[in-house]
Structure 1
């Protein structure tokens, strides 16, 4: 680890990082705008200026941009040098020339990166008294507000949206001090990760429209760590609620990303960020309900005839206790239906309450069998379930029967980063640091191999090297033949179509030659043979390489695998519950 000196203090640091990242890691206050820990450096804002000295005798030094400066063993730097401080102050003053004085009404107030950096730079008085440049804002859809007058031209938005997330409908338009970040025409942002613009933007150019519709400040929210419930990836989130002014329940105001290195990192999909408003819906059951009448209710009940009545919680507990007592005496059939969308603790408590023989998963028989299969596959020692960073580092990827952009969006974003690994390897061979994002992206070369076989592929078409659009049965057959080709290329049937045989042979060569191959599949196709064949490919690779192979299996719901642990015998599905209810109704009809 190289040793550097910053303002007279010596530090041992990570030589792979740039100077700005190193300073921030050490807790030193260096202002910045364009740099982002996940997207690297482009040197656009010039705000992170520091002084670098040749040696201990150098009294003048030279001005450098710390985000574009690699660490030099024995390097001597200064954050507090007067020239550097004056330069940073002039930059922030220039950026604030056209920035509006709208902090009291800006949605970003209280968590604005620009506010923090302005205060850090000591820019507390504006000398400019001229007319400010103004822009016309655009409609960007139901989720994102656009206020271009707040822009400081850091380029974070287009770097994330275009370069990182693969969006194509947001551009940097214009030039000089008239640069405009928007669309060619007004309209909804099409990329499924557009909500990250809200957190990526250091000012209030892009803000959460759902949050703004009920204006509230960050400090008015009660925020707690949570896990996104919209898919099985398990992204960490920070929901924020505010107490209502009429003594009602708190209202959920927004969802933001909560950093987790192994899962979601800095980014969240739009479904996880904006899919929360159902919680505040007036149609949700928010109070305890009891059956209003005991007899069978006709489906042709008159309009306005309510099937249930509200009861207070105390009465509900007493009523439930009576039902449990009657069930224990054999006078009642008490059934509990769990859910893969709720916590393991909730499902366990319900199962404990009604008994294991009366607890049902809330899943169909087929879904339950698929999840049991996923659980069994993942217990194989030859299989490794990868984290998101491991997916991003894969050098060859095979996707079988899973449209991960819709079923596991954050994983599709990780796959998009994995596509650049050949480019990153070329950068390493040329000794270009990976944090020099613009330099790395200028290198020519193909994407890392990504092969897709399935019925539908969204958002990843342009980075896949080979595709096979077929039915689940044919996808499973392709994968089975691929497993054979990996184990023994001579074992393939000569009756295969030439084009299919060529794809199988080509894919097998890629996976055998990769140092970090990854297989992705899942349950969305509802096809057990697809899962089995994905496991066959992974185990064949493991046997060939004598090491575990990464296999990511996407599930339908946030707690699908957690719930399935209660049903090791494969029973307890909704199909069985339906048969049980039919028998009960039959007995009642025969013995009224």
Structure 2
């Protein structure tokens, strides 16, 4: 065979194609539409989406390929060397206009009342490719709607069967909840069983739908897109820090939509981040400073509220004062709280309110492998995490790793949680047995041979009473197998607050509650639900003077506080958060602060000024940010809580839509099928031994408190343990390592 000339300007595995007269060098295997997009050449499309598998069923992207007798769908036609494509020739335009005409035959003429109006792909494309008058006189078909849950509204008569939603639920979410039914003109998209969507990513079907068939039910009929102002913001309900836009009208946040960031959330958004804005408008928002006078709450001015707080802090300094901070507080707030504590002479400050074991002085760490690279791993171990609920979009990346790279995923958990990927192996054991499970030779051998292995340690492990020993075992496993260690930070800004020095050189949160201080500052915390041991927290706070910096004047805050100073939530303030990759990200104020509430940093600056403390001399946010710098703290340690004893070992996970005060107040999320009522879940053997049956009420007790909860018997739960979801008032007293369970 004779030698062939090689074009040095074309890289290996690339080909040269011509699109609309423009010569392009593109990777082999690319589709025409991908090559055109890269060059900025527009091709109309409906079914094609760069993050979804190719379906090629709308035919809107038909183009004219030289020497081809038929039109070619640009989304499903691979490029070939020397190929010449015309997207705007007379022939190509005829193809595209004909397809547009067919798509509009049955589409209803209801743009004036459609929520998609103004941001609809069908409107945009039909303007360029549609006819001004329809040639069809037949009656349009009507498709009955079905209720698919509290988050997504349906108007399926508008559906053009692009199947984007079907492919999203199947290939990204992995729940296979939507599909096509019937054939031909009778084809319908819907659920097969008529039940609500159960995926934690369901709102993304609204984004991928190119027409108004699937819309945001919470936003339905609230506003038009051109009435809204977009503000860059962040998800603040988990450590991923998903990028999003808040859409605001006259100071009210009406919806949240994803903001593309391939390194963080790609183009997706979890339902928790998308719909939580409802909680901002709860009836118990703190809108004015409150002071308790003779046991009664009284609205006061900011001057009087700050004076009352100053009086409490001035009288209780040094070791008498404890500062407890919610792990979603911003970097700016964290820095000022650390300065406040330092100025008042206390080293008792902590944000690790979900943790139980501080014996190793552990703090939040940046992931050992960047988030975007985890989907490239070929061996993944999930330790102590219901990852689908804890970090929904990381769960989606794990599924992507399996479907695209055939990654082997192993789980070590106390419950055989429902994941949207197949497990190569699983060990379902009580949390205290995690250490032995990590030492399993089969598991270690399976991971050792991988070229890119990851160990993900979740909240069940991080918040367990023996967390220090589990973390040590995880580090040993990572060192022995070469796996990158990724400990999930327990809080949206746990990494940022660690860097800001919101950590104890004195007493940690457990010690502050076990040995009550005379006064406390609690920041952004709902004391009845946010602590790992709510009973101990309530007892300690009830006997002290408490200044609460809070978004909500809820019952549990009113019970323990002496002063409530209303502060804004993240969607209402300018702030920065640091995510699990160590990426510092900014959010802009979107919603209007309610009533007389103020930005947290502004309240802290005013209080620091009243107390004449150093570090509060700045006058604006820019001045504060200019003074920020990482703070190193010699973090104190305390004895671990023993797990041995009588009763069942507790497996506690955060209920997916009960993770923080704002989410708990989002009504639509509380109606979601994934939001279970308070309950205890145990396996059949333990239930039989305790003479309990499904649905029976049981008394669950600890040294700290008791609760009466319904029993659920589930074979997925490890023997010797009981699964409880936190975030509910009914389960709040159960913050111990073990519980006793008896029939009510």
TM, length-normalised to structure 2: 0.63
1:562 aligns with 2:496: yes
**Counterpart secondary structure, 2:460:** coil
CA distance in 2, matches of 1:587, 1:226: 36
Which residue does the alignment assign to 1:211? 219
Which residue does the alignment assign to 2:16? 3
CA distance in 2, matches of 1:26, 1:316: 62
CA distance in 1, matches of 2:333, 2:383: 33
Which residue does the alignment assign to 1:393? 376
Verify the 8 A CA contact 1:361 1:563 in the aligned structure 2: no
Which residue does the alignment assign to 2:342? 355
Which residue does the alignment assign to 1:263? 264
Matches within 5 A, 1:30-45: 30-45=43-58
Alpha-carbon RMSD: 3.0
CA distance in 1, matches of 2:309, 2:408: 60
Which residue does the alignment assign to 1:283? 284
**Counterpart secondary structure, 1:67:** coil
Q: Does the C-alpha gap of structure 1 residues 350 and 125 become closer, same or farther in structure 2, counting only changes over 3 Å?
A: farther
CA distance in 2, matches of 1:206, 1:587: 51
Q: Does the C-alpha gap of structure 1 residues 467 and 365 become closer, same or farther in structure 2, counting only changes over 3 Å?
A: closer
CA distance in 2, matches of 1:125, 1:335: 72
Which has the larger share of helix? 1
Which residue does the alignment assign to 1:533? 473
Verify the 8 A CA contact 2:364 2:490 in the aligned structure 1: no
Which residue does the alignment assign to 1:307? 297
Which residue does the alignment assign to 2:445? 509
Once the two structures are TM-superposed, the CA of residue 568 in structure 1 deviates from its matched residue by 5.5
Which residue does the alignment assign to 1:105? 113
Which residue does the alignment assign to 1:132? 140
Q: Does the C-alpha gap of structure 1 residues 531 and 8 become closer, same or farther in structure 2, counting only changes over 3 Å?
A: same
Matches within 5 A, 1:474-553: 474-479=433-438, 481-482=439-440, 504-505=441-442, 507-525=443-461, 526-527=463-464, 528=467, 529-542=469-482, 549-553=483-487
Which residue does the alignment assign to 1:489? none
CA distance in 1, matches of 2:183, 2:261: 37
CA distance in 2, matches of 1:461, 1:210: 26
Which residue does the alignment assign to 1:233? 240
Verify the 8 A CA contact 1:524 1:556 in the aligned structure 2: no
Once the two structures are TM-superposed, the CA of residue 20 in structure 1 deviates from its matched residue by 0.4
Verify the 8 A CA contact 1:7 1:77 in the aligned structure 2: yes
**Counterpart secondary structure, 1:117:** helix
Once the two structures are TM-superposed, the CA of residue 81 in structure 1 deviates from its matched residue by 1.0
Which has the larger share of strand? 2
Which residue does the alignment assign to 1:496? none
Q: Does the C-alpha gap of structure 1 residues 201 and 330 become closer, same or farther in structure 2, counting only changes over 3 Å?
A: closer
Q: Does the C-alpha gap of structure 1 residues 226 and 583 become closer, same or farther in structure 2, counting only changes over 3 Å?
A: closer
Which residue does the alignment assign to 1:89? 97
Once the two structures are TM-superposed, the CA of residue 369 in structure 1 deviates from its matched residue by 3.4
Q: Does the C-alpha gap of structure 1 residues 407 and 587 become closer, same or farther in structure 2, counting only changes over 3 Å?
A: closer
1:50 aligns with 2:63: yes
Once the two structures are TM-superposed, the CA of residue 374 in structure 1 deviates from its matched residue by 5.1
CA distance in 2, matches of 1:34, 1:508: 43
**Structure 1 residues 230-264: Cα deviation after superposition (integer angstroms, max 9, x where no partner):** 11122112122221xxxxxx222111111110111
Which residue does the alignment assign to 1:499? none
Verify the 8 A CA contact 2:351 2:503 in the aligned structure 1: no
Once the two structures are TM-superposed, the CA of residue 567 in structure 1 deviates from its matched residue by 4.5
From 319, 333, 336, give the equivalent of 2:307. Answer: 319
From 165, 169, 173, give the equivalent of 1:165. Answer: 173
Q: Does the C-alpha gap of structure 1 residues 284 and 74 become closer, same or farther in structure 2, counting only changes over 3 Å?
A: same
Which residue does the alignment assign to 2:397? 414
From 65, 75, 100, give the equivalent of 2:83. Answer: 75
**Structure 1 residues 161-218: Cα deviation after superposition (integer angstroms, max 9, x where no partner):** 1232111332211111211111234332112211111111111111110001x52012
CA distance in 2, matches of 1:318, 1:384: 43
**Counterpart secondary structure, 1:307:** strand
**Counterpart secondary structure, 1:464:** coil
- Unaligned 5+ runs, structure 1: 55-59, 244-249, 298-305, 423-446, 483-503, 543-548
Which residue does the alignment assign to 1:491? none
Which residue does the alignment assign to 1:254? 255
Count of aligned residue pairs for this structure pair = 503
CA distance in 1, matches of 2:174, 2:214: 18
Once the two structures are TM-superposed, the CA of residue 222 in structure 1 deviates from its matched residue by 2.1
CA distance in 1, matches of 2:218, 2:63: 40
Q: Does the C-alpha gap of structure 1 residues 582 and 3 become closer, same or farther in structure 2, counting only changes over 3 Å?
A: same
Which residue does the alignment assign to 1:467? 426
Greater RCO between the two (CA within 8 Å, min separation 6)? Answer: 2
Verify the 8 A CA contact 2:122 2:211 in the aligned structure 1: yes
Verify the 8 A CA contact 1:401 1:522 in the aligned structure 2: yes
Verify the 8 A CA contact 1:523 1:531 in the aligned structure 2: no
CA distance in 1, matches of 2:215, 2:319: 54
Q: Does the C-alpha gap of structure 1 residues 577 and 160 become closer, same or farther in structure 2, counting only changes over 3 Å?
A: same
